[in-house]
Structure 1
């Protein structure tokens, strides 16, 4: 973090422009400042570590928008306002990227017009694990101040959370899918498409002595379901002149693949705040930029992929009615522990470690185990310039528990507080049920048993308990606030993601999950988003 002393006439808005930082990032680092337009002469202002003043910015070859790394074509929202689109996608995370990719694939080079709006900016062109220079300050986090959901945070950037997600990509088991309003066989078909798109593989840990030995220990101690964790990693070797350097999946790959098939328009630093309807159906979306300017972009179809916290805020701020909008907020119960394993029993080349003990009907939680060279290897490289020889390595165990979908857990708009755009902020009401807490207790006990089975004593670190209970929201898997279903009283969208009673308005991200089982949800989000895109194509012609 850096400190900049404001000059005469400086405001947060001017500083954001000067250093090419999003206003959201500045506000989150400088909570003592009430307004982006407040005069700040002489005030110390906190800046992210990596910033670039406008004197050193590179002009983008794709238009008037300037950014430090001009690696993707963008269009200012004032230009998009002049057009009428067939589809506007709000948000560029897993759901928005999958919808865009599928529409581009299905529509090809026809005359349909697609637009995308993203609240964040271009930050990095790939998943963090593909970058040896990774530093979290490259990304824009917006912290939330919600006492009942204190662990949550948002990544406001092109690519969203897929820039940083953990890459574990299991399917929801069939017995749990049976509770969803989507036929199980149909869901399996879309899982197949999603796994191909994301390059999901169970071969990432092949030939790892650490993986094989610890997996064997687990199975010998009764964890018969323990398996190689499915990882979203492209292991295709270089051939035919194609170099596969972008190994770990992010939604940016969807946008790159999509634009290869057909053009679309992308506006960054453009936060969607309101949906407009005409004669009861979707007609457009209003977006705002950090300078306070507002634009209305017309479209026949709108897909909200802004996340389980932002989607209901947009819907409620638009006056769209629905008993379930914002309700049924869910998030995993989450525990984790760390221990160390001695290296004397293993060859010099340990290899990577990513083991999954999946949810079963009798065990409504899953356990993950990863180690020194797993997808989190970039964290190690922040700590060591060279990989040192050590007598032991740290192993991390995680437990994710299924939670109940309850009406009283909700996202609502705050009647008193507004953000820098003048839009109502959200307030969150959330608590775990007794059943949720019992499942968390079971997960913690099983995590201890798994640690004992693999010979990794769990140790407390830095004054924290040996098994840490992560606060609500800390799993970053919040979902359910626009859940799918047949009944408008208990769901916001129909089984294809269309908002009940509003033709042309859809949601496609974590918010639509009807239940949150123990499995990591990104693969399911991508599969459902592809299915929603296919439905949109069927409703709008080819």
Structure 2
């Protein structure tokens, strides 16, 4: 019998070139790139969760069930600033199984905007090609929303350079019996890879092995080399001894917070004061408006629009926010539109991940998150909220946010009229930083290829590498950067 998923203990029977910690968007991107570009590499993936789905949740349920799904299966493992808003989905595919579909590239302006958050020149130079590869792999296309409502919204918001967002949804057919595959997700691409590997190789000669319920507790190292990973089978009692797994190269792709926690707990670079620092996320605000019927055609498909930062002669850091609109008509033709805003954060070393004095059930220190907004961040959010109000007026809508709060906890509003809700820290799920890349070991944790300074066989591939967070959904940039890291790893095996 052929098994595509292994138990943690079964992985020890195989000789691995690369072990990847995490099966989310970054981990899967590294695996698929290595599989495609290095025909002899053997790859192992360790996922702490189980299998919840082999597809994006939006390919299974309507959009209104996405939030209940997340609430049912999420965990809140962190202390401090992200304790209420942050979360993980411990499952094969990670948060990618329920991630938003907007897959926009980072704006070029953001790569060099902040003096203490500049991306390495070589990364910026390489990004266009890697973005192209990521868009092809993730089936990125322009939103298929058409009809009177979309035309109406784009026309009224034209002065803001509004446009239909690029989305990770396969909407086109290649002809014949081929059909669109729906929402892209890391888990569906990983499953395809596992089946492909099984078809091409016999069991004893397979190239990619995935173990679920494998919780990595520590990275063992000596001198300038990682010597192995300690991990536990979460289906067994918590007091079991960790298993040691070895490979030539280890890749951290467990998420911005969890990769930093594992890095700090393993004392991989105790002398590096940058490790865990420069945490950032998108400061998120949301509103809901109702617009009277604009057309007799009730089934007009609705609205899906993104509004980027406004172009001026000089880049204004206070304008580094993005607004997106999504809505559809009800039976009476009234248009209900969600308006969301993501504002960038200034790179600040005081925003950081450290180890808590409290431990999880396996005896591993929890992550403690210290985060606060700068004066510039607050100004940026204020300007973003003014833009949301301006959009509401242009569309002729009425705020109904208070009737439909976006969280189960007590909502926080930006003004007394309760028109715009400010989400809790961590709620964007777009955290970045903590193990930032750079060319100077004094101001970064890894080099420009994600290779940890001073440890030759340890790489980082998730959003913890980001020197700054930008304003677009980071998913496409995570995939692109992970491809680039994988290409460098290929030369190290």
TM-score (norm 2): 0.87
Q: Which runs of 5+ in 1 are unaligned?
A: 1-60, 64-72, 374-387
For 1:140-539, list aligned pairs within 5 A. 140-144=73-77, 146-149=79-82, 150-178=84-112, 179-183=118-122, 184-205=124-145, 207-219=146-158, 222-223=159-160, 225-237=161-173, 239-244=175-180, 246-262=181-197, 263-290=207-234, 291=236, 292=238, 293=240, 294-321=242-269, 322-360=272-310, 361-362=315-316, 363-372=319-328, 389-414=331-356, 416-462=357-403, 465-539=418-492
SS in 2 for 1:426: strand
- The whole-number CA distance in structure 1 between the counterparts of 2:131 and 2:257 is 25
| 2:65 aligned with 1:126 | no
SS in 2 for 1:461: helix
Q: What is the CA-CA distance between 1:346 and the residue it aligns to?
A: 4.9
Partners of 1:85 and 1:115 within 8 A in 2: yes
Partners of 1:91 and 1:118 within 8 A in 2: yes
- C-alpha distance after superposition, 1:473-514 (max 9, x if no partner): 111111101111122232211111111111111111111111
Partner of residue 9, structure 2? 78
- The whole-number CA distance in structure 2 between the counterparts of 1:62 and 1:329 is 42
Partners of 1:100 and 1:254 within 8 A in 2: no
- CA shift in 2, pair 1:526/1:420, >3 Å: same
- C-alpha distance after superposition, 1:94-119 (max 9, x if no partner): 101111111111123x2x21100001
- The whole-number CA distance in structure 2 between the counterparts of 1:341 and 1:105 is 49
Partners of 1:93 and 1:305 within 8 A in 2: yes
Q: What is the CA-CA distance between 1:146 and the residue it aligns to?
A: 3.2
Range with bigger deviation, 179-188 or 167-176: 179-188
Match for residue 107 of structure 1 among 27, 38, 42: 38
- The whole-number CA distance in structure 1 between the counterparts of 2:481 and 2:374 is 27
- The whole-number CA distance in structure 2 between the counterparts of 1:182 and 1:372 is 42
- The whole-number CA distance in structure 2 between the counterparts of 1:251 and 1:80 is 21
- C-alpha distance after superposition, 1:296-342 (max 9, x if no partner): 11011111110111101111111111221111110111111001122
SS in 2 for 1:511: helix
SS in 2 for 1:125: coil
SS in 1 for 2:125: helix
Q: Which runs of 5+ in 2 are unaligned?
A: 113-117, 198-206, 406-410, 412-417
TM-score (norm 1): 0.79
Q: What is the CA-CA distance between 1:260 and the residue it aligns to?
A: 4.7
- CA shift in 2, pair 1:145/1:312, >3 Å: closer
CA RMSD of aligned residues (A): 2.0
Partners of 1:101 and 1:257 within 8 A in 2: no
SS in 1 for 2:13: coil
Q: What is the CA-CA distance between 1:181 and the residue it aligns to?
A: 0.7
Q: What is the CA-CA distance between 1:525 and the residue it aligns to?
A: 0.4
- CA shift in 2, pair 1:436/1:504, >3 Å: same
- The whole-number CA distance in structure 2 between the counterparts of 1:422 and 1:270 is 15
Q: What is the CA-CA distance between 1:62 and the residue it aligns to?
A: 4.1
SS in 2 for 1:153: coil
Partners of 1:312 and 1:326 within 8 A in 2: yes
- The whole-number CA distance in structure 2 between the counterparts of 1:342 and 1:122 is 44
Partners of 2:7 and 2:213 within 8 A in 1: no
